[in-house]
Structure 1
Amino acid sequence: DFKCCIYSTHKHTPDAPRLRLIIPLKREVTEDEYPALGRMVAKEIGIDLFDDTTYEPSRLMYWPSTPSDGEFVFKEKDGELLDPDIYLSKYVDWRDTSMWPVSSRQSEVVQRKITKQADPLIKEGVIGAFCRAYNIEEAIEEFLPDVYEPSTMNGRFDYIPADSSAGLVIYDGKFAYSHHATDPACGMLLNAFDLVRVHKFRELDEKVTENAPPSKLPSFRAMTDLALEDERVKEQFAEERKAQAEKEFIDEDWEKQLELDKTGTVKNTLRNLILILENDPNLKSIVFNQLSDSLEIKGDVPWPHPSKFWRDADDAQLISYIDTHYGTFSARNYDVAVAKVADDRSYHPIREFIEALPEWDKVPRVDTLLIDYLGASDNPYVRAVTRKTLCAAISRVLTPGIKFDSMLVLNGPQGVGKSTLIAKLGGDWFSDSLSLSDTKDKTAAEKLQGYWILEIGELAGLKKAEVETLRSFLSRQNDIYRASFGKRATPHLRQCVFFGTTNAEKGYLRDTTGNRRFWPVKTPGNGTKKSWQLEQDEILQIWAETLTFVKAGEKLYLDASLEKLAKEEQREAMESDEREGLVREYLDMLLPEDWDTMDLYERRAYINGTEFGESKRVGVWKRKSVSNMEIWCECFGKDRANLRRVDGNEISAIMASIGGWTGLVKKERIPLYGPQWVYVPKE
């Protein structure tokens, strides 16, 4: 309803449109109001359509121009000047940046930056020492108390000079990312060292070229001097030197460090047991698997064990070994010491797998994986959903819990190799034990632990309630539950992706509106290769290529053009109804002039061609709308009173499968039936 105009930029083309939207305001807005206002307006239009830098108040726009052979677009819309106060009032509190709308891309940007950034706690030198001495919150309290203050939201800080609030987000105490437009740190993912540097010494870099390495910046040298003079940083360096010396000493002669009682027996102390578990060479294979979130034996131990998984019997074997070789310890000391030492030896098998991948040989395999091995159609949609699913698998390991709520569904005859292909990609971390019934409670979440690629089999015949449960399950990024023998409920960020498989020949999706999370791909099995022929070297190259896509910033969602193709595939995957042909004929049938005055029995007789008399009616016009009730009573010949919700859903599914009609968008008063929600033909 507001006045605005739109014009094309210099780089605009019909195939790759680039447009600028100008909206005059009723009053001037402040630098802090501008991003909140812009985001709310963008949300109502469609925030994913806008560049994420649009909301920066410092952005300058060029006057309209176009190449000599280019297309210039200009559209103007009249109306009232946009009132900023009306749009700002749509927030509970526009100053709270946590409430600002963001595009689906923006949360991925920060996660991608975190993935690429080195962990500041393991950095060497002054940066690492400073970050170990001060986490982000402590650094703010000590060095920047006049810049930031704690927000009412946990894990966020307010930028004091700004009117907005909660714009500085803290990630694991290691990184800070500011959304405050006026904050010098805005848009940068910073560790504690760099956050203090930017605020205290950024002016020193004003005359430095943009390409100067960070270590050569005057602000870096000034911050280094500040850190080296800080007492906590000095203590951190001293403690680390001492710890290293102690470690070297213990490694050389650790048994002499065991505390003994007056009889020479090893004392029952936590320190002694930790010392034994850390240094006995026979026990160094007891580790913690971050993927399975459990203890594991990675190597040999001085007792027989059938697999790498830790069993109750391994607890007994460990206690027996230590009791025989060293002495007796309490159950409490065992609980604490084993958990502590194993946690210190934590490892992630898939991260190790990814880090050890060979260099990609530049032969493309990922996009055509389903095409080559399962005979899928070679089109942009199939290539995209294959690539994005594999990229999501790697992304969820590198950044657990990253948003990905879609499931690639392979639909083809039994025996073509659908499950074989998925299993080969997942290797030791593949599982097909997950069932739909598991998704109703914590059973599914527990079954995810330790696995990377999971298959959910036979999706045909799902009830609507089951589809709702599955959709909810796929959308989760974090499973919070208490393990069967755990002491407390703990979060488990998702580190896996799901593949669906089905042999259904007549469709398998039933919900007409909620299929966005399913990416169907037909796999007839006539590919040039067979799944069981896929060799390990080829699998490693597939994952190596996938890793290059991830590092290049591959999005884990479909853009508008691919989303359109996905909807067509989802429509074709709808479970077919034998009544669809009847409904098609009913919709295509021309109606007589007096249709609106005909009673139900006359309408049925006309439709079925059973009118009495010689003067039979002739169809002259095509219907402009139709309702579920009309189809139920006239096409199916059913009684109005017997139409149930499930029947309405089935009719909606038939209409979605037929296509060409926009579903239930408005109510119309229909002769014989009163007000009804109707479908209208698509323009």
Structure 2
Amino acid sequence: METRKFNPSYDTNLTIFVGDNSKATNWENKETTWSSLLNRCADTTKTKETLVQYLQMDKAKQSKIKDVGGFVGGYFAANGRRKKEGLIGRTVVTLDADNVKKDSNIWEGFKEIFSFAACIYSTHKHTEEAPRLRIIIPLADSTNVEQYEAVARYIAGKIGMEYFDPTTFQASRLMFWPSTPKDVDFFFDWQDGEILNPEEILQKYKDWKDVSSWPMHKSETPEAILNNKRKAPDPTSKGGIVGAFCNAYTIEEAIEKFLPDVYVPTAQRDRYTYKNGSTYGGLVVYKDGYAFSNHATDPARLNGQHGCNAFDLVRIHKFGAEDTGVKDDTPINRRPSFLKMEELATKDTKVKRYILKQRTKSVKDDFEGVDFEETAQHGEREQAQEDGETWKDKLTFNKRMEVENTPTNLVLLFLNDPELKQIKFDTFRNRDFSFSERFKNTKGAIINEESTGKISLYFFTEWNIKVRQSSIFDYLQTTATERSFNPVQDFIRREEWDGKKRIETALIDYLGAADTELNRAITKKWFVGAVARAFEPGIKFDYVLTIPGPQGIGKSTFFNTIAGSWFSDSFSFAAKDNAKFEAVNSAWILEISELNGLKRTEAEAAKQFISKQKDTYRAAYGRTVEDYPRHCVFAATTNEEYFLTGDHGNRRWWIVKAEGKGRVSSWLGDLKANVGQLWAEAYKYYTDGEELCLPESLDKEAEKIQDECNQVGGDDLLPIMESFLDELLPTDWETKNKEERRSFFRYRDPLEAIGTVKRKFVTAEVIRNELPDEMVRKYPAQRINALLERCKGWKLTSQRTKPGQCYARARKLFVRIPDEEEDNI
């Protein structure tokens, strides 16, 4: 069939919502014209099956065949899925004439009544014996959803309401593009006329907003409803506050709670007596959710046998007097009685619970052929939590049955909503974490700007509340205390101590440390210090458990295992301040791996950093500079024998030398199994008031080990200096000048007499001048003095004697220890 081209005398711009098929998720608003739409509707898609074959198919197959794409005659708020709540307005009237009889001449009747532009085409099931047709009418101006139905119903009513399915007036109704079985002739016709101004139709109503004045299908009229067991539409299916109230309360429940002084129950369960009436049992309650009053004086008896649902029954009796003086044609939903009842209902606990329950359910769209994903898991979780959720009763609602956007409501939601309450404030890391998958981000569970965007979207989709991302951070801060938890404290207290001591021998059992009183004490104190820092951030504890030992014995593995998820080995003294601050405040046990950075920074600065009890800085995502009390402890590992620097402040390093305990795999499983008991034991000591320092009786021994590990002790120059100082000097040594003394050691003549005199005094200047080793020239006096303090047979003296006539007095003078005194040392 050749494609025809139609050129209407009148044209207009239209916006419609189009998609490739009914299940598509990428529908989009499309700007078009009446002429373009007209020509598109004139062009059908011929399918491969015959009409007989099509009619023999089940509904699913039929839907698939006729689904050649389609349109909604209006525009939506956004492209994407077709959801009825997204419909903004209509630009085209579309009518389904599925109940047309043969020879009814519906199209001829239409043209006799209306002269505006329109077209008509046949559907996939259309036959001459059983016509099925679609009428398309462009509009000069767009309408909202309510206006559209009034216009569509008026037109249908004039043509013959019986031709149309009642659902055709739904503003969100999908219209398929034309399609036809291969053996059926496609029917199309059009009327060239002016574009319909919808306002002309609306003005034909006395009040188009009065739904009762709209043309109704015979199945929708009160007469038909009353004839069907005097039954109106199920009140629980009503939208808005009326439907919510009727779902929350049956007639009987509404009478019991709100009207106990109006009606008295009788012996018959379905009958009540109107107290102010003269007859008995005149109010009859039906199972369909309606009550009919036969009491002549009962205000609820409207128009003879008109029934009242629970909402209207309470409204009429509690607030009916408010309508005195109101015009008869005032719509019910604008009457004072309705507004008062609406206020009562929105504040009622049961109604609010029902509304909230409905919000958690996945609502299926009524578009033909559209599938929806049911979030069953979320629904089941909500159902399981429904009982006892009295917090919802505190929420306040507006007249649209929406949760109000108030600070009080938002705080309630943050603390109680099943998803939002899974956002917890970690007091250890001072960060918010999401335990709900809905708010996690590409970087994990820590709440960041991506997460707050998801939270903002959640408020809108689940609660219809718009909350800015910046406000999300404010409310998280406001509710931090109520949402707080401390994972490290929970980790420490997860087990009860069984009474078996394990801490003192932990380093002995797993890392092969010597079984000494000092090693046991250090281990115990450090474990208790770690607990104290977790429960009392900022408490004074500036000791570093330091494990020197061979590589591969499991030093780092030990600390990593006992720390759970709060271990870090990335700390470096060489890092920038903020990086160091973030490191110490994001971990519980920090390993200074191989004493990284200690050699590259001033030793004194490192000691000062370890000794700090709090850090002051602006954290990531923080808005102000704040104090962060330390909740971490330090540990250090090294493969070196000499690793301490400087002469002072090394008390902070609690050193436990380790030799290893076989393969790490041989003891790691046992350590993992005992981690809970190790911390349970430490927690018991902490709560018992264990002191966090070594007893004085062990101080000397600890200092000795610290001294042994000092880098000065490992200096290659030390033995050279000791050997040099033991060399005997010639008897005329005191008469020699600096150059002669230096030449004596550097260019010694083998024939020259061997010295016979022991050196009595020495200073750093003497060493730098006389020692025949170029390396010493690079040493500062402070380092040489430190080495002299370690030289055997020498000690620092307070004497101010010159070490020789050619030298000046020095601040530090070392004197040889007499043999008898050295023997006593």
Settle same-fold status: TM greater than 0.5. Answer: yes
- Kindly indicate whether the alpha-carbon contact (under 8 Å) linking 1:419 and 1:501 is maintained by their aligned counterparts in 2: yes
Q: Deviations over 1:431-455 (max 9, x none)?
A: 11212222x4121111222321111
1:546 aligns with 2:682: yes
Match of 1:654 in 2: 787
SS at match of 2:432: strand
**1:554 Cα deviation after fit:** 2.9
- Kindly indicate whether the alpha-carbon contact (under 8 Å) linking 2:591 and 2:636 is maintained by their aligned counterparts in 1: yes
Distance 1:527 1:542, change over 3 A: farther
- Kindly indicate whether the alpha-carbon contact (under 8 Å) linking 1:586 and 1:607 is maintained by their aligned counterparts in 2: no
Match of 2:461 in 1: 324
1:347 aligns with one of 485, 493, 499: 485
**1:385 Cα deviation after fit:** 1.8
Match of 2:707 in 1: 571
**1:541 Cα deviation after fit:** 2.0
SS at match of 1:554: coil
- Kindly indicate whether the alpha-carbon contact (under 8 Å) linking 1:285 and 1:301 is maintained by their aligned counterparts in 2: no
Match of 2:803 in 1: 670
> Partners in 2 of 1:597 and 1:283 — Cα distance?
89
1:508 aligns with 2:643: yes
Match of 2:513 in 1: 376
> Partners in 2 of 1:492 and 1:462 — Cα distance?
24
- Kindly indicate whether the alpha-carbon contact (under 8 Å) linking 2:533 and 2:630 is maintained by their aligned counterparts in 1: yes
> Partners in 1 of 2:440 and 2:468 — Cα distance?
24
Q: Deviations over 1:226-270 (max 9, x none)?
A: xxxxxxxxxxxxxxxxxxxxxxxx965444433334444433321
1:457 aligns with 2:593: yes
- Kindly indicate whether the alpha-carbon contact (under 8 Å) linking 1:583 and 1:635 is maintained by their aligned counterparts in 2: yes
- Kindly indicate whether the alpha-carbon contact (under 8 Å) linking 1:460 and 1:504 is maintained by their aligned counterparts in 2: no
Instruction: Say which is worse superposed, 582-591 or 390-399, in terms of deviation.
Output: 582-591
> Partners in 2 of 1:653 and 1:461 — Cα distance?
22
1:596 aligns with one of 734, 737, 755: 734
1:494 aligns with one of 604, 609, 630: 630
SS at match of 2:813: strand
> Partners in 1 of 2:572 and 2:580 — Cα distance?
8
Match of 2:414 in 1: 277
2:395 aligns with one of 258, 262, 282: 258
1:521 aligns with one of 635, 647, 656: 656
**1:638 Cα deviation after fit:** 6.1
Q: Deviations over 1:349-375 (max 9, x none)?
A: 12222333222332x322222222222
**1:341 Cα deviation after fit:** 2.3
> Partners in 2 of 1:264 and 1:346 — Cα distance?
32
Match of 1:426 in 2: 563
Which ranges of structure 1 fall in alignment gaps of 5 or more residues?
1-249
> Partners in 2 of 1:666 and 1:259 — Cα distance?
87
Amino acid at match of 1:495: H
Match of 2:607 in 1: 471
Distance 1:339 1:551, change over 3 A: closer
Bigger relative contact order (CA 8 A; separation at least 6): 1
Amino acid at match of 2:496: P
SS at match of 1:435: coil
Match of 2:539 in 1: 402
**1:286 Cα deviation after fit:** 1.2
> Partners in 1 of 2:629 and 2:793 — Cα distance?
42
Distance 1:514 1:332, change over 3 A: closer
- Kindly indicate whether the alpha-carbon contact (under 8 Å) linking 1:512 and 1:652 is maintained by their aligned counterparts in 2: no
Instruction: Say which is worse superposed, 552-561 or 321-330, in terms of deviation.
Output: 552-561
1:267 aligns with 2:401: no
Which ranges of structure 2 fall in alignment gaps of 5 or more residues?
1-386
Larger radius of gyration: 2
Instruction: Say which is worse superposed, 572-581 or 660-669, in terms of deviation.
Output: 660-669
**1:287 Cα deviation after fit:** 1.2
Distance 1:303 1:560, change over 3 A: closer
Q: Runs in 1 of length 4+ with deviation above 6 angstroms?
A: none
Match of 1:448 in 2: 584
> Partners in 1 of 2:536 and 2:772 — Cα distance?
53
Residue correspondence of structure 1 range 200-215 to structure 2 within 5 A? none
SS at match of 1:436: coil
SS at match of 1:427: coil
- Kindly indicate whether the alpha-carbon contact (under 8 Å) linking 1:510 and 1:653 is maintained by their aligned counterparts in 2: no
1:365 aligns with 2:498: no
- Kindly indicate whether the alpha-carbon contact (under 8 Å) linking 2:492 and 2:676 is maintained by their aligned counterparts in 1: no
Distance 1:563 1:430, change over 3 A: same
1:581 aligns with 2:734: no
Identity %: 33
Distance 1:643 1:615, change over 3 A: closer
Distance 1:638 1:528, change over 3 A: closer
**1:312 Cα deviation after fit:** 2.8
Match of 2:748 in 1: 610
Count of residues in Structure 1 that have an aligned counterpart in Structure 2: 425
> Partners in 1 of 2:782 and 2:673 — Cα distance?
48
Distance 1:560 1:680, change over 3 A: farther
- Kindly indicate whether the alpha-carbon contact (under 8 Å) linking 2:497 and 2:684 is maintained by their aligned counterparts in 1: no
**1:581 Cα deviation after fit:** 1.4
> Partners in 2 of 1:460 and 1:604 — Cα distance?
40
Match of 1:221 in 2: none
Amino acid at match of 2:548: N
- Kindly indicate whether the alpha-carbon contact (under 8 Å) linking 2:793 and 2:816 is maintained by their aligned counterparts in 1: yes
Distance 1:569 1:441, change over 3 A: same
- Kindly indicate whether the alpha-carbon contact (under 8 Å) linking 1:574 and 1:657 is maintained by their aligned counterparts in 2: no
**1:544 Cα deviation after fit:** 2.3
- Kindly indicate whether the alpha-carbon contact (under 8 Å) linking 1:419 and 1:455 is maintained by their aligned counterparts in 2: yes
Match of 1:49 in 2: none
